[in-house]
A and B are shown apart, each in its own frame.
Chain A
Amino acid sequence: MNLTRVAAIVLRQFYLMRGSPARVFPLFAWVALDIVLWGFITRYLNGVAHASVDFVPALLGAVLLWDFLTRVMQGVTLAFFEDVWSRNFLNFFATPLRISEYLAGLIVTAIVTSVLGLLVMLLLARAAFGLSFLSYGLAIAPFLLVLFVSGIGLGVFGSALVLRLGPASEWLIWPIPTLIAPFAGVFYPVDVLPVWMRAVSRVLPPSYVFEGMRAIIAGEPTPWGALLLGAGLAAAYLVLACAAFAGVYRGAIRSGLIARYSAETVS
């Protein structure tokens, strides 16, 4: 893998963001709004419930972690969509650029943008609502890692879908996190789900993070084994997503789709 070529993909995204507040603003704005909204909801719930449960780490923490996953996924897909929107595939793929270098560039871009979003969320949640990641202890590292790898995998898979189905299929990609959320048990224990939904949640890496988070808040020991399983699943899905992207790319080279990629030519 040629790191200069990876850096070129990242630099392109940096140039786009530097010259466009419209691209930078959403990195912080929507996640900040989510934190404010859920921050007040948790404050209200803490006031009326009179329960021993603190809703701040349970609900606000869940929102923050879920937004992080969504942000990571969008970091990959938005970087990919920039090439879709500017019809840049022919320019990029008729160069020595390897598909692994292109994907690595998208992933590095997603790391940078999602870390920026995470920092803003953390600062806001800490300053306004007193949420601290320290309350999760050491488990916060695997929490973030599993969600990060899951987000990257979703982003790469979403990009493969758009490459295969065409730019018009963008609308299929945006709601993916919303589609997964009910199964992942972001706001409630997986036990409350019907059996078939529980079966789905068992193959979703984020469900292990949110179950683990609730266990720690309830004073139970950190479920390291379950987190390890979640991390393994997330890594496997990432490998599968990259293989799917490479497979779709090879198919596009075979059919000539890359050379004439546009909304009109793919359907």
Chain B
Amino acid sequence: MGPEQPGGLWRLGNDAGVKQRVAVADLAPRARWSRPESPRPSRRAANEALASRARMRYENRVPPSAPPILAVEGLCKSFKSVRAVDNVTFHVAPGEIVGLVGPNGAGKTTTISMILGVLEAASGRIEIEGVDLALDRSRALSRTNFAAVYAPLPGNLTVEQNLRVFGMIYAVEKLSARIEELLSRYDLTRHRATKAGLLSSGEQTRLGLAKAMLNRPRLLLLDEPTASIDPSSARDIRAGIADFVDSGHCGVLWTSHNMYEVEAVCDRVLFLSHGKIVLEGDPKTLPQAHGAASLDDLFVAVAHEASQNRAPR
């Protein structure tokens, strides 16, 4: 099975009902960042491959009875008179990539900040693998990690120093070996002694992702991970994360303004508008169900409706 042919062999892997991949084609260009020896697949083929993987993950997802990696219930947050997040409830299952999309100011980053424990919810509950974030923040966050374009790692530390400091904070075992593995996977080996502030934006994004993978998180939060990087690197990032999810039953919450990316990568998408989830479903079927030609068109319709609703204020 070639790299452009989606599909693979999946089966129930154990008595607990957890489905595991037994064999699957290398659908992504490569899991590693090292440049591939063979020609890259076309963008369409790569996206189709990723979408096919997402479809497979969805079909083979862990049964709903399995506890979610992330459970968010009735989350609310206001800034002065503005209701930024309004009674948001959702979950992320093991092995699932959930897209969180919406127009600017819809409440995506506010939601992610609350899940990361850097913003206190006015009400509601966040559980990460059953650990209540409000009650045991440190334990909950030890299973989590994140990458966001607005949170670059300290530019005055080198790539390796950054990974070591954050690896110690996350109490990563066999840290040196893990750092080597990530430097290699994200094609950062030659930049190991380079100050992070001197890296290009694509390299900084890769460093952020390497940091996010340090502790093999059970919950990965990605806030526009492919913003401001070239399509080729973006494709590699998508493939790498899909690979990570496939390999270990973690859950991912992914925000993006790129609907093609969301459609290609996510198993499920949540549309946020004015702090509320207004739509939820499979990104491949959701547009049709709402009379839109594509997810992009559906996004535009939701954003348009949101701006119309906001106008009288």
Q: Within 8 Å of chain B (Cβ to Cβ): is A8?
A: yes
Contact partners of A16 in chain B: CB under 8 A: 156-157
Q: Within 8 Å of chain A (Cβ to Cβ): is B12?
A: no
Interface residues of A in 1-49 (CB under 8 A from B): 2, 4-5, 7-8, 11-12, 15-16, 19-20
Given A86-B156, A96-B170, verify A256-B79 contact (CB < 8 Å): yes
The answer on a CB contact under 8 Å between B138 and A94 is: no
**Among candidates B139, B141, B151, B171, residue contacting A90 with C-beta atoms closer than 8 Å:** B151
The answer on a CB contact under 8 Å between B118 and A93 is: yes
Contact partners of A86 in chain B: CB under 8 A: 154-156
The answer on a CB contact under 8 Å between B171 and A2 is: yes
The answer on a CB contact under 8 Å between A96 and B169 is: yes
Given A5-B169, A11-B168, A12-B165, verify A94-B157 contact (CB < 8 Å): no
Q: Within 8 Å of chain B (Cβ to Cβ): is A95?
A: yes
Contact partners of A5 in chain B: CB under 8 A: 168-169, 171
Q: Within 8 Å of chain B (Cβ to Cβ): is A266?
A: no
Contact partners of B89 in chain A: CB under 8 A: none
Q: Within 8 Å of chain B (Cβ to Cβ): is A218?
A: no
**Closest residue on chain A to residue B168 by CB atoms:** A8
Contact partners of A94 in chain B: CB under 8 A: 116-118, 141, 146, 151
Q: Within 8 Å of chain B (Cβ to Cβ): is A98?
A: yes
Min C-beta distance of B147 to chain A, whole Å: 10
Contact with B along A75-111 (1 / 0, CB 8 A): 0000000110010111111111110000000000000
CA distance A93 to B117 in the complex (A): 8
Q: Within 8 Å of chain B (Cβ to Cβ): is A259?
A: yes
Contact with A along B103-147 (1 / 0, CB 8 A): 000000110010011111000000000000000011101100010
Contact partners of A2 in chain B: CB under 8 A: 171
The answer on a CB contact under 8 Å between A88 and B113 is: no
Give how many A residues have a beta carbon under 8 Å from the other chain's beta carbons.
31
CA distance A245 to B48 in the complex (A): 51
Contact partners of B150 in chain A: CB under 8 A: 90
Contact partners of B119 in chain A: CB under 8 A: 253, 256, 258-259
CA distance A19 to B164 in the complex (A): 16
Q: Within 8 Å of chain B (Cβ to Cβ): is A254?
A: yes
Q: Within 8 Å of chain A (Cβ to Cβ): is B153?
A: yes
Given A8-B168, A12-B165, A259-B119, verify A96-B139 contact (CB < 8 Å): yes
Contact partners of B120 in chain A: CB under 8 A: 250, 253-254
CA distance A42 to B151 in the complex (A): 52
The answer on a CB contact under 8 Å between B161 and A15 is: yes
8 tightest Cβ-Cβ pairs between the two chains A and B: A8-B168, A94-B116, A96-B142, A86-B154, A96-B138, A259-B113, A259-B118, A90-B151
28 intermolecular pairs with C-beta atoms under 8 Å apart: A4-B171, A7-B168, A8-B165, A8-B166, A11-B165, A15-B161, A16-B156, A19-B156, A82-B154, A83-B154, A86-B154, A90-B118, A90-B148, A90-B151, A92-B169, A93-B117, A93-B118, A94-B151, A95-B166, A95-B169, A96-B137, A96-B141, A96-B142, A96-B169, A253-B118, A256-B79, A258-B119, A259-B118
